[in-house]
Amino acid sequence: MYVSMREMLAKANREKYAVLAINCFNLETAKAVIDAAEEMHAPIIVDLLQDHLKMHLDYRYLTQPIIRMANNAKVEVAINLDHGQDVAFVKQCLQEGFSSVMMDASMYPLEENIRITKEIVQFAQQFNASVEAEVGDLGVVDGNQWTNTEMYTNPDDAIQFIQATGVDCLALSYGSTHGDYPEGYVPEFRFDIVEKIKQVTQLPLVLHGGSGAGEENIRQSVALGINKINVGSDFMKAQSLEIQKQLAKDAMIGYPELIHATMAAGKEVVKKYIEIAGSKNKAL
């Protein structure tokens, strides 16, 4: 069933669990994610990153086939544009059929972020699509050094942003990052940020950089009001490692068999995160 994030996150908000959003970049990764969700009877979000769509495979070749997969699925499936930073591109994705988009204008001052996001919220209404945004600046991995100076979301800014824009959900920076952490590093989360914003707004809140965040951090985040968790690196890493494993066993393995093996490996990661986020058996 193809839906927007609005309904599935509203249910997650009421019932205190989180929906997984998995970064996909082709039909095989999208199918692996949807298959995993069906096996776990969980709602799921197929995240299509703007950078992947521009550099790898155009949204015009991906959107409609994934929508068909979603409509044939036994669980709710949303397609979300992840980190859309080009306003025109975000609008094009909505026109193409995306049920949800993220307008990421977090690199701008707060008032400009509000202005840009509000424009997309209003534009998305004609498609009955949901809108995610971000306030704050996720930390980065710089070589072996973890940097988090001034990365945290200001709760008062986030509350003002939510009230001014009417977004359906908001991504916060409270300890996680995109990509891989240095080996052995487990990030420290500022849960007070989540608590304050949730208490005032009751909006579905989003954790980006779920890969490597740590099971306990994720469970605590969900308990305090995170209702969407983005996972990309662990999903893709599992598939890369599976390629290495299969080629080590048989360097001449058939390409279709190789791809099916990577899909199976990716599915297991998605199922693990669904379990941690509490969305197993939460599909309608």
Does residue 284 lie within any of the structural domains? no
Beta strands in the chain (DSSP E): 19-24, 44-49, 77-84, 100-103, 130-135, 140-142, 145-147, 169-172, 205-207, 226-231
- Percent of the chain clearing pLDDT 70 (strictly above): 92
pLDDT of 141 > 50? The answer is no
Does residue 283 lie within any of the structural domains? no
Least confident stretch, 7-11, 84-88, 134-138 = 134-138
pLDDT at 144: 47
pLDDT at 186: 64
CATH of the domain at 119: 3.20.20.70
List of residues 6+ apart from 17 with CB closer than 8 A: 222, 227, 277, 278, 279, 282
Does residue 282 lie within any of the structural domains? no
CA distance 176 to 24: 20
Mean pLDDT score, 184-203: 90
Instruction: Count up the domains in the chain and report the number.
Output: 1
Does residue 219 lie within any of the structural domains? yes
Q: Is 178 annotated as a binding residue?
A: yes
Q: Any idea which residues carry the catalytic annotation?
A: 82
pLDDT in tens, 97-127: 999 999 999 999 999 999 999 999 999 999 9
Does residue 153 lie within any of the structural domains? yes
Q: Is 208 annotated as a binding residue?
A: yes
Q: Which domain holds residue 192?
A: 5-277
Does residue 266 lie within any of the structural domains? yes
Q: What is the pTM (predicted TM-score) of this model?
A: 0.94
CB-based contact 108:134 (threshold 8 Å): no
**Amino acid making up residue 18:** A
Does residue 87 lie within any of the structural domains? yes
Does residue 97 lie within any of the structural domains? yes
CA distance 262 to 241: 8
CB-based contact 94:124 (threshold 8 Å): yes
